Structure 1
Amino acid sequence: MAVHKLILDDVFEESVCTLIAIHCTIEDYRLAYLLNQNLGINLVRNKKDLDYDNGKSTYSIYNWEDKKQLLTWNLVSNICKTNDVMTTSSGLLFETTHSITKTFNLIPELKSVNYLLKIDDELHITKEKYIINTIIRIPQIATAYTIDISQLKSKENLIFS
């Protein structure tokens, strides 16, 4: 019996998008407000956060659909901190409780990045530079830069729909 082999490399095209890493210590709602003011966009928080590992880690996400240019903008936090309370008993009368803070990252390769701005289209280099320069001019933001998505091992975490 003959064996048929199908090669589907060219059939499925990877999604094209621009990913911008943002380093800052402000809250997500404040960052979304500042980006809205400076970039002329309208990021709105989703009703549901991104949920991974059945509630073990959740990440806030804001989105905006630009109907003129047919672009979707997503601002997502990259860091999730959870507090776990552990009770230990030494077999005596009293138990002791310890609070342990665990940190999870949406993209583990980018542990130092606080937020990710994903634009679902590969932007022209001049528009990309304009967006990054505008973000860097915001005083509360330490730095911002683009990330090559093809180099990320956990790029499947960037699929939000």
Structure 2
Amino acid sequence: MAVQKFVLDHAFDEALFTLVGIHCNLEDYRLAYLINRVLGIALKRRKTDLDLSHSQATFSIFEWEDQKQLINWSLVSNICKKEEFQTRKFDSLFDSQEKIIKTFHLLPEYKTVNFLLKIDSEISTNKTKYILDRLLKIPQIATAYSIDSSMLKSKDNLIFN
């Protein structure tokens, strides 16, 4: 009896999504509100934050599912700052504790990006340009640009489900 072997292409390895990097100093809820207004979508805060157990960091995430086009939109913070206390011991009478702020990044290769807008569909370049143009109309956004997801080393961090 002959053995049949099926070889699948790497088409299933690559998740199709569009990723936009956003530079701004707004709070996450304020940015989500402005994006909702400009793009006509309805991002809402997820009940639980995105938790990366290996880095001990949590990132705020806003999501919206477009029922008409069957596309999921996610706005996630790229930066998480945690405050920790470190004990310093001296050869003195007093031990002191020092506050240290540790910074974690969802995508370490894009440390200057404050927020990431992930669209779970590979959309056309015209639609991407339209989204970028609309985002850049928000005065508080310094810049926004498309990120090539195939070049990311830490794309596993972008799996939110």
AA matched with 1:156? D
Q: Percent identity?
A: 55
Residue 22 of structure 1 aligns to a residue whose secondary structure is strand
2:71–2:121 contact (8 Å) kept in structure 1: yes
Report the equivalent of 1:49: 49
Report the equivalent of 1:62: 62
Distance in 1 separating the partners of 2:10 and 2:96: 59
Report the equivalent of 1:146: 146
- Listed as ranges, the matches of 1:1-161 within 5 Å are 7-10=7-10, 12-53=12-53, 56-161=56-161
Structure 1 pair 109–55 and aligned structure 2 pair: CA distance change class (3 A): closer
AA matched with 2:153? K
Distance in 2 separating the partners of 1:20 and 1:125: 12
Question: How far off its partner does 1:89 sit?
Answer: 2.4
What is the TM-score with the length of structure 2 in the denominator? 0.92
Distance in 2 separating the partners of 1:54 and 1:111: 18
Q: How many pairs align?
A: 158
Question: How far off its partner does 1:130 sit?
Answer: 0.7
Residue 143 of structure 1 aligns to a residue whose secondary structure is strand
Gaps of 5+ in 2: none
What is the TM-score with the length of structure 1 in the denominator? 0.92
Gaps of 5+ in 1: none
Distance in 2 separating the partners of 1:21 and 1:160: 17
2:21–2:147 contact (8 Å) kept in structure 1: yes
RMSD, matched Cα: 1.8
2:21–2:117 contact (8 Å) kept in structure 1: yes
Distance in 2 separating the partners of 1:10 and 1:111: 29
2:55–2:104 contact (8 Å) kept in structure 1: no
Cα displacement string for residues 18-62 of structure 1 (whole angstroms, at most 9, x for unaligned residues): 000000011100000000111100000001111112672110000
Distance in 2 separating the partners of 1:150 and 1:83: 33
2:57–2:104 contact (8 Å) kept in structure 1: yes
